[in-house]
Amino acid sequence: MADVKNIIESMAQKARLAARKVAVLSTDVKNKVLLSTAQKLEDSKHRLQQENQKDLKNGKEKGLSPAFLDRLELSHKVIDSMIQGLQEVAALPDPVGEVTKMWKRPNGLLVGRTRIPLGVIGMIYESRPNVTIDAAALCLKAGNSVLLKGGSDALHSNLALASVLQEALAENGVPEDAVQVVPTTDRAAVTELLAREEEIDLIIPRGGEGLIRFVVENSKIPVLKHYKGVCHCYVDKGCDEDMAIEICFNSKVQRPGVCNAMEGMLVHQDVAESFLPRMGEQFKKAGVELRGCERTCQILPYAVRATEEDWGTEFLDLILAVKVVSSMDEAMDYIDRYGSNHTEAIITRDYARARRFLNEVDASLVLVNASTRFNDGGQLGLGAEIGISTSKLHAYGPMGLEELTTTKFIAFGDGQVRT
Amino acid sequence: MADVKNIIESMAQKARLAARKVAVLSTDVKNKVLLSTAQKLEDSKHRLQQENQKDLKNGKEKGLSPAFLDRLELSHKVIDSMIQGLQEVAALPDPVGEVTKMWKRPNGLLVGRTRIPLGVIGMIYESRPNVTIDAAALCLKAGNSVLLKGGSDALHSNLALASVLQEALAENGVPEDAVQVVPTTDRAAVTELLAREEEIDLIIPRGGEGLIRFVVENSKIPVLKHYKGVCHCYVDKGCDEDMAIEICFNSKVQRPGVCNAMEGMLVHQDVAESFLPRMGEQFKKAGVELRGCERTCQILPYAVRATEEDWGTEFLDLILAVKVVSSMDEAMDYIDRYGSNHTEAIITRDYARARRFLNEVDASLVLVNASTRFNDGGQLGLGAEIGISTSKLHAYGPMGLEELTTTKFIAFGDGQVRT
């Protein structure tokens, strides 16, 4: 315990010192680090997979599930996707140093806001070792140093990936402490990280709701997170029903296990009788289990009657809660009560209701006539993302490079004093 | 204890409900509330001062200091300044609904970010009852509801001010729960507020370092705060010494008791011998006690030798730490070690050093050739401010109306689905 405390304290202090250097690196140097990491990953595939084998072997002996072991594996495909990710982040514009605004005061003082790195970021995540590279790349490009605490079952893989990154840092004259993987499987390391408020500026947890709640409850450092995505489509009266079918189908079926998949569908009563049977057919073919309100079950005899628990549940599976509503207001009240501030969509032809829905629904992304699946940094045009925030402070929605920075004020004077 | 818990729980839930209504108020209605509050304050001076008298009487009986009682008093001047504050906030542009960016994706999806209120804000502050009006005005204009926990010694004054606000809200058809003053002096109320993470989105403490540390340590809700302002001026070699004298004098003397006053002056060794005697004369005349390094004391025999504790101390008084440095790097290292990320200024003629100082110094405001006293929302052109943040997440520097909002993503589609 004392050991873990010392390890984390020393890592955090080194990260803090490195942060001051990383903050002022040129874009060129940062990109060189990213691209040479990509090259080194390519060259080190064999070594990485050997280290990964240790984790996989331990995992099998521990009886981890095949799905878990699958996420743990550094296959050629996974390594290639990390390489591609590094190249993409290198190609993104550098947010640091951007002057977001500048204005002149009556006394001649020129005042502006400029983007600066946050400092030191702590990432706490579960099994997928590719997060080690993806997160480090984003943090570094935004001028931050990063402490990475991955899942215990991926320790060998994560350390191997970190050593590749650190080689690339060292070769480019950047302090290796800019990217550090916590070299222990001791759970206490998480708690110790969360207590280093003097050195760490931001914690980003990625994983199941349990991990995230643990982090939020124990952190003295600000945390950006989302617990879950309970996303809805509201099918408005008078909408283009063909479009509604396509959007709802895509929102539910295209990738049901992720946070921006639709978990509840709200259908205006005026379109329910024509829309639901056609929509239901599509869902039935795709193997989606429908859990409906009373009215839904009258129209779709094969729907299961929903229980109170089904409303607002994140199924992450081919299951959908369906409710017929008498108005958009009822739909918005439902979303307010059961939604998770993640992603909400309306399918409509009505101008006024589109505007009201956009204005009044409180979610990190509100869409008109498009799939909930677009709530993703890449899809929205931010480039790679480090996560999606459903809390409002600092970032609300996908977090890309900009969200890993903040702004400070700068002022150019020529002798101004306050009177 | 159970009573306080129930009171706070009920208030927080009502504030949450009100927030949904306040978020969509038109700018006109919000301004009407602010201006009619201003009018009512004018009309209610007598009643307000009667209630304030109760607090002053209690305070005197408790033996509170004259300075404390002075801050507690709702004099005509203080009421007038609240009225003026309300009028100023009404005149500021409404941040809510601003589309800060909008772009088109290759698939035709039009994606934007729009400013929305944070939701429910909890203000925790000490004796000055004018904060009740100033903070409520800003929170409301930014579309938030607010829970106000003022100092126990100002309870009658705060409740009277809140009742004026609530009359104005009701007359304009806005839920009165949008602005609530915690009606108890029980200290447990603060702890209960800090636990209402489901209803409250942001806590802003204002007061001494003790209060703020208590809030940070006990809050489950994000906190925007600054502990202290330890601001420096670095007087560069080759600078305009007349300008340096004016700026340093203004930074220290114009209002020594506030967070953006200079607490430490760093002087390059090449200018120390000519600059320090002239600067010292000015400070001596103004009654500033100088606590200097060895070299400073050689040049200024009347300076006191500084102890290690003087470096980095927030004196909030006519006391100044003075150190001669051998380079700008030494000055920046000193600032990194002893500064508080609040305000740092350089006085220079050198282009390259001005750029380096601006880029590399980590403070919420970095100035070239201007007084540290400009770190203030009004002075920088943000309008009224609710505080100054020295932590980086969400806001770094003065927090005006924009900092009381966040952005959500909006997307306008015509049937887009993800492939």
CA dist A414 → A101, B253, B347, B359, B369 (Å): 20, 19, 9, 18, 5
Identify whether residues B212 and B278 lie together within a single domain: no
Residues of chain B found within 8 Å of residue A249, distances taken between Cβ atoms: 417
Q: Are B83 and B45 in contact (CB under 8 A)?
A: no
In tens, the pLDDT along B154-170 reads 999 999 999 999 999 99
Of B192, B182, B122, B196, the C-alpha closest to B152 is B182
Q: What is the CATH number of the domain that holds A341?
A: 3.40.309.10
Residues of chain B found within 8 Å of residue A388, distances taken between Cβ atoms: none
What sign for the dihedral angle of Cα A175, A177, A181, A184?
positive
Chain B interface test: which of A121, A236, A343, A406 (most B C-beta within 10 Å): A406
Please state the rounded mean pLDDT for residues A108-136: 95
A30/A178 Cα distance (integer angstroms) = 11
Chain A interface test: which of B21, B252, B409, B412 (most A C-beta within 10 Å): B409
Token readout for A239 is 């909408």
Residues of chain B found within 8 Å of residue A397, distances taken between Cβ atoms: 407-409
Please state the rounded mean pLDDT for residues B138-155: 96
pLDDT beyond 60 at B323: yes
Last residue within a domain, chosen from B204, B225, B246: B225
In tens, the pLDDT along B206-246 reads 988 889 989 988 888 899 988 889 999 999 999 999 999 99
Examine residue A406 and state whether it is found in any structural domain, yes or no: no
Identify whether residues B164 and B84 lie together within a single domain: yes
Identify whether residues B140 and B289 lie together within a single domain: no
Whether A416 and B374 lie within 8 Å, measured CB to CB: yes
Whether A393 and B201 lie within 8 Å, measured CB to CB: yes
Given this model, what pLDDT does residue B216 score?
87
**What total of structural domains would you count in chain A?**
2
β-bridge mates for residue A114, sequence order = A99, A408
Residues of chain A found within 8 Å of residue B396, distances taken between Cβ atoms: 116, 406-409
Residues of chain A found within 8 Å of residue B382, distances taken between Cβ atoms: none
Of B222, B221, B145, the C-alpha closest to B181 is B145
Examine residue A402 and state whether it is found in any structural domain, yes or no: no
In tens, the pLDDT along A35-51 reads 999 999 999 999 999 99
Q: B15-32 as b/e, with b when 16 or more CB fall inside 10 Å? A: bbbbbbebbebeeeebbb
Examine residue B385 and state whether it is found in any structural domain, yes or no: no
Examine residue B130 and state whether it is found in any structural domain, yes or no: yes
The predicted complex's ipTM stands at: 0.94
Please state the rounded mean pLDDT for residues A363-392: 95
Q: What are phi and psi of B75, to 5 degrees?
A: -75, 170
Place of tokens 């941040």: B95
pLDDT beyond 60 at B1: no
In tens, the pLDDT along B386-397 reads 999 998 999 999
Q: Are B381 and B259 in contact (CB under 8 A)?
A: no
Place of tokens 């806005």: B174
d(CA A287, nearest CA chain B) in Å: 19
Of B153, B147, B188, B151, the C-alpha closest to B165 is B147
Last residue within a domain, chosen from A225, A259, A287: A225
CA dist B46 → A162, B68, B79 (Å): 69, 22, 11
In tens, the pLDDT along B18-41 reads 999 999 999 999 999 999 999 999
d(CA B266, nearest CA chain A) in Å: 17
Given this model, what pLDDT does residue A227 score?
82
pLDDT beyond 90 at B293: yes
Token readout for B309 is 């504790």
Examine residue A412 and state whether it is found in any structural domain, yes or no: no
β-bridge mates for residue B185, sequence order = none
Pick A370's closest partner by Cβ from B109, B367, B394: B109
Q: A104-141 as b/e, with b when 16 or more CB fall inside 10 Å? A: ebeeebbbbbbbbbbbbbbbbbbbbbbbbbbbbbbbbb
Please state the rounded mean pLDDT for residues A181-210: 92
For residue B203, give the chain A residue with the closest CA. A393
A366/B215 Cα distance (integer angstroms) = 34
A163/A337 Cα distance (integer angstroms) = 47
Identify the band that residue B344 occupies on the pLDDT scale cut at 50, 70 and 90.
Answer: very high
d(CA B263, nearest CA chain A) in Å: 16
Whether B393 and A247 lie within 8 Å, measured CB to CB: no
Whether B409 and A23 lie within 8 Å, measured CB to CB: no
Given this model, what pLDDT does residue B148 score?
97
Identify the band that residue A1 occupies on the pLDDT scale cut at 50, 70 and 90.
Answer: low
Residue range(s) defining the domain that contains residue A31: 2-225
Residues of chain A found within 8 Å of residue B118, distances taken between Cβ atoms: 392-393
Token readout for B18 is 């009100």
A185/A49 Cα distance (integer angstroms) = 20
pLDDT beyond 70 at B76: yes
For residue A202, give the chain B residue with the closest CA. B393
d(CA B242, nearest CA chain A) in Å: 9
Given this model, what pLDDT does residue A322 score?
98
Identify the band that residue B185 occupies on the pLDDT scale cut at 50, 70 and 90.
Answer: confident
Mean pLDDT of chain B: 96
pLDDT beyond 90 at A298: yes
Identify whether residues A188 and A264 lie together within a single domain: no
Identify whether residues A261 and A343 lie together within a single domain: yes
Pick B394's closest partner by Cβ from A364, A393, A415: A393
Pick A359's closest partner by Cβ from B24, B202, B391: B24
Q: What is the CATH number of the domain that holds B118?
A: 3.40.605.10
pLDDT beyond 90 at A185: no
Identify whether residues B114 and B257 lie together within a single domain: no
- The total of other beta-carbon atoms located within 10 Å of residue B64's CB is 18
Chain B interface test: which of A194, A239, A396, A418 (most B C-beta within 10 Å): A418
Pick B369's closest partner by Cβ from A247, A359, A413: A413
Of A371, A333, A332, A373, the C-alpha closest to A353 is A332
Examine residue B390 and state whether it is found in any structural domain, yes or no: no
A242/A275 Cα distance (integer angstroms) = 9
Examine residue B418 and state whether it is found in any structural domain, yes or no: no
Examine residue A389 and state whether it is found in any structural domain, yes or no: no
Residues of chain B found within 8 Å of residue A396, distances taken between Cβ atoms: 116, 406-409
d(CA B186, nearest CA chain A) in Å: 25
Last residue within a domain, chosen from B200, B225, B250: B225
A404/A139 Cα distance (integer angstroms) = 7
pLDDT beyond 60 at A279: yes
Residues of chain B found within 8 Å of residue A200, distances taken between Cβ atoms: none
Mean pLDDT of chain A: 95
pLDDT beyond 90 at A226: no
In tens, the pLDDT along A315-341 reads 999 999 999 999 999 999 999 999 999
pLDDT beyond 80 at B9: yes
pLDDT beyond 80 at A127: no
Residues of chain B found within 8 Å of residue A247, distances taken between Cβ atoms: 415, 417
Please state the rounded mean pLDDT for residues B277-299: 98
Identify the band that residue B67 occupies on the pLDDT scale cut at 50, 70 and 90.
Answer: confident
In SS3 terms, B141-176 reads as HCCCEEEEECCHHHHHHHHHHHHHHHHHHHHCCCCH
In tens, the pLDDT along A56-81 reads 999 999 999 998 899 999 999 999 99
Identify whether residues B216 and B309 lie together within a single domain: no
Chain B interface test: which of A392, A396, A399 (most B C-beta within 10 Å): A392
Place of tokens 């800003």: B138
Residues of chain B found within 8 Å of residue A250, distances taken between Cβ atoms: 417-418
Identify whether residues B87 and B190 lie together within a single domain: yes
Given this model, what pLDDT does residue B187 score?
86
Pick B336's closest partner by Cβ from A20, A336, A379: A20
Identify whether residues A44 and A80 lie together within a single domain: yes
Residues of chain B found within 8 Å of residue A24, distances taken between Cβ atoms: 359-360
Given this model, what pLDDT does residue A407 score?
97
Helix residue spans in A172-232 (DSSP H):
188-194, 209-218
Q: What are phi and psi of A184, to 5 degrees?
A: -145, 155
B208/B185 Cα distance (integer angstroms) = 18
Given this model, what pLDDT does residue A99 score?
97
Q: Are A272 and A290 in contact (CB under 8 A)?
A: no
Please state the rounded mean pLDDT for residues A187-210: 92
Of A43, A42, A37, A15, the C-alpha closest to A169 is A37
Whether A411 and B109 lie within 8 Å, measured CB to CB: no
Chain B interface test: which of A226, A251, A367, A382 (most B C-beta within 10 Å): A367
Given this model, what pLDDT does residue A10 score?
97
In tens, the pLDDT along A137-171 reads 999 999 999 999 999 999 999 999 999 999 999 99
Give the three-state DSSP class for A207: coil
CA dist B48 → A349, B82, B158 (Å): 53, 12, 9
In tens, the pLDDT along A110-123 reads 999 999 999 999 99
Pick A246's closest partner by Cβ from B364, B412, B415: B415
Identify whether residues A104 and A215 lie together within a single domain: yes
Identify whether residues A189 and A316 lie together within a single domain: no
Whether B366 and A408 lie within 8 Å, measured CB to CB: yes
A325/A16 Cα distance (integer angstroms) = 53
Give the three-state DSSP class for A247: helix
DSSP string, A74-98: --HHHHHHHHHHHHHHHHSPP-TT-
Identify whether residues A262 and A178 lie together within a single domain: no
Per DSSP, A151 falls in state -
Residues of chain B found within 8 Å of residue A416, distances taken between Cβ atoms: 369-371, 374
Q: CA triplet A139, A142, A143: central angle to 5 degrees? A: 90
B165/A391 Cα distance (integer angstroms) = 29
B347/B371 Cα distance (integer angstroms) = 9
